[in-house]
Amino acid sequence: MSNTEVYKSGLLNRALDPATQPAEIRDFMQTEIALIRDVVGDGLTVIDVGCGTGRHLALLRDHVRLGIGVDYEHSYIVEAHQHGKAGRLHFVTGDATCLPLRARFDRAMCVTNTWGTMPDKPRVLAEMRRVAPKAGTRILSVFAETSIPARREWYRRFGHEVLEESPEYLVTDGGLRSEHFSEARLRAFVGECEIRRIGPVAYFVTF
């Protein structure tokens, strides 16, 4: 089973249930939101690549001038549309490696290790640079190598026992493949960037 099939099966909603999250994962998600809010200032336009059900843009709804979320899983986009009632948020089914937009944005983000589940990472970065061309306006958050114990427990709680562990990824019995990164590996992918720790389990990257 591919990550595409795993997410189609509804994994995201189970993973976002706080009852499934070890303390380190809950703390990461809360800190991530604060960091995103700090980087995405009032009145800006923002695109969320791999937006899922639109939770990050929903939290920014009263601050952004325009928010666009893109995700390949149409059922998540359908759910996300309920966040767009104020008119500032819009959600589109699309491929992160070929975003269906020509517009340019003040900020582009791909967060909560979404990028770490994508197979063609360089192409996603290229698309983020295309739609947010100014350096320092693109945001990633990814899991660090030190996240493995917390993620093993988290995945187990939402029904995915880890079957395979490597220095770069975990694979579960349900087919989820989720990567983790060292600072050196991140810089090898991203190039020039600023990397900040989010607690013991993640990095927040601007490039």
For the chain, the domains span 3-206
Mean pLDDT, residues 5-21: 80
pLDDT digits (tens, 9 = 90+) for 31-86: 999 999 999 999 999 999 999 999 999 999 999 999 999 999 999 999 999 876 66
| Backbone angles phi and psi of 29, in degrees to 5 | -65, -40
User: To which H or E segment does residue 165 belong?
Assistant: strand 162-165
What predicted TM-score, i.e. pTM, was given to this entire model? 0.94
Decide the pairing of beta strands 194-198 and 177-179.
unpaired
Give percent above pLDDT 70 in the chain.
Answer: 94
pLDDT at 3: 65
* Residue with more model confidence, 153 or 2: 153
**189 or 2, which is more confident?**
189
Residue type at position 27: D
Cβ burial, residue 179 (10 Å; 0-12/13-18/19+): middle
Q: For residue 88, what pLDDT is reported?
A: 92
Mean pLDDT of the 100-107 span:
97
pLDDT for 8 beyond 70: no
Q: Which fold has domain 3-206?
A: Rossmann fold (3.40.50)
Distance CA 88, CA 79 (A): 16
